[in-house]
Amino acid sequence: MKFGDKLIKLRKAKGLSQEELAEKLNVSRQSVSKWESNNTYPETDKIVQISNIFDCSMDDLINDKVVDIEKRETTEKKKYQVVVDSFLDFIVKTVNLFTSMKFVDIIKCLFELGIIALILLLGGVVFMEILTEIMENFHIFGGNLWYYVKNFSIGIFSLIWFIVSLIIIIHVFKIRYLNYYEEYLNKNEKDNKTNSLKEPKVSIKKEKVIIRDGKDTPLAFLTILSKIVLGICKIFSILLLVGVIFVLFGLVVSLTLSLSLAIYSDLFKGLSLGLFGLIVFGIILSYLLGSFLLKKKIALKVTIISFILAFLIISFATGISILSIKDIEFKDTSSFINKNKFTQTLVYKDKMYINNKNNDTIKYIIDNTMGENITISAYHDKAFTTLQLQEENYFEMFSYSLHSIQNTRLKDIYQVFVSDLKKNIIRDYGNIKIEDLTITASSNVINKLLDNYGKVYLYEKIPIDNGYLIKTRDKKVILNNNYCLVDYDIYNDKFTVIENDCICEKNVKETSMGSMTVYSCKWDE
């Protein structure tokens, strides 16, 4: 069979068109067509490339005496048998080696391999600790998703490290001992012309350690392990590439938003430049991953130049941002932009108290003209929050507290943010608190409210003009039920255990603000 006919059969079996094969060989389609028509022959270096692409020998390609190159498929089917035979042969030779060695040499061999394994183990532990620490501080997803992604990644890296370590140990053992043992047997076979069945005891001669040379080819079953590692690396590269693409999408969106704000602040000029540099980094990483997956040749010079350029852009952007920060005024959460007063009136009812979840301070103002009415007022920033008064049942008592709801009107937030940028001001926009919570009621109602409040909290009562300032110190009752079913009426201080298998203890602790009650429950084993 001529070269052109073999090339056609190999190309079609591989599922390649003439254009695709030409692209892999960096030649024109017409050249491939001429080769397949047996009009011309490729150069030697192209024949080498073709044999690598189709996994066959040069002799199979250029020797016309080879009638049917499909015989190679039979060899492919026998590869698995070769792997198994290689593994079994390795076991047999290893057993024969150790039975032929002196005990001292066996100890030296195991000690040497043990040192290598220990070094690899310590290296793996250090690498995994560093990887875990990096992933702990670099969250891409929120919640449990990142937990599973982190553990999956660490598991994959651990498996790769184990397989690579196993390959290194076995290959070092082969080079360091098995090869010398085979040389000894071959030499002994030549010197001993009589076919003796008894194998002499030998001691491995200590020679200069050769880590790898031309004759030390890896064992066949180690090649399978290498392919497993390569396959895992490809799967991980695909996942990483998908992640990089999503990150690039986020960076492009962020760059668009940052550019829209760059006209107002040098900080966003630097940020925009830095985001551009990160996008370049992302593109380089995507290119490297894609080249690895598609087995494409990397344009090393362009990649290095792009990497250096991206690094310089990010460094320059960082300098601009640092210089711009010195002119920015940072405001705390109490600095309102659009200060607004919230007011709502309630009518007092039994077991009622007023709580402040945003702060530990409440101001009570006495107004004896209000009867049973209670006025609740507080200040907030209407550009960012809306206040709502909510009622909650807490151990048979009624707790009223103000809740701030984040403003979702992006237009208002954007306008405030731009206005601040023009003045070189940045605030903690996501943590605007409720300020100056004030309760106005008659002295009789205030006393009732504080009496109810005192059943739940330990507090300090500070007299002020026309009222009191209440500072909460701690909860008065702490319940550690440990999933035991209990009932507690905090108003009447009645604690009831509903499940008989649950045992609860009551402990009273004295503090500077008063007595604290702690209920601790556990299951009766």
Q: What is the pTM of this model?
A: 0.45
The domain segmentation of the chain, as residue ranges, is 3-76, 81-218, 233-327, 339-474, 477-523
And the tokens for 153?
């990644």
Which CATH code of 1.10.260.40, 3.20.20.140, 3.30.572.10, 3.40.718.10 fits the domain covering 3-76?
Answer: 1.10.260.40
Q: In what order do the strands lie in the sheet with 435-441?
A: 339-347, 373-381, 435-441, 361-366, 467-475, 457-464
pLDDT per residue over 366-389, tens digit each?
999 999 999 999 988 777 778 888
Q: Which of 25-39, 190-204, 320-334, 351-365 has the lowest mean pLDDT?
A: 190-204
pLDDT digits (tens, 9 = 90+) for 304-328: 899 999 999 999 988 888 888 877 8
- Beta strand 435-441 with 373-381 is antiparallel
Average pLDDT over residues 81-86: 67
Residue 496: its H or E element: strand 494-497
More confident residue, 71 or 302: 302
The CA distances from residue 379 to 203, 330, 386, 433, in Å, are 90, 21, 10, 9
pLDDT tens figures, 125-151: 888 888 777 777 665 555 566 677 777
- Please enumerate in sequence order all residues whose Cβ is within 8 A of that of 428, keeping only pairs 6 or more positions apart, or say none: 331, 332, 333
Q: Are 101 and 109 a contacting pair, CB within 8 Å?
A: yes
pLDDT at residue 206 greater than cutoff 50: no
Rg of the chain over Cα atoms, rounded to whole angstroms, equals 39
For residues 482 and 523, the answer to whether their CB atoms sit within 8 Å is: yes
Has residue 55 got a pLDDT over 70?
yes
- Provide CB contacts within 8 A for 464, sequence distance 6+: 363
The three-point CA angle 94-98-99 to 5° equals 115
* Measured distance CA(494)–CA(264) in Å, rounded: 62
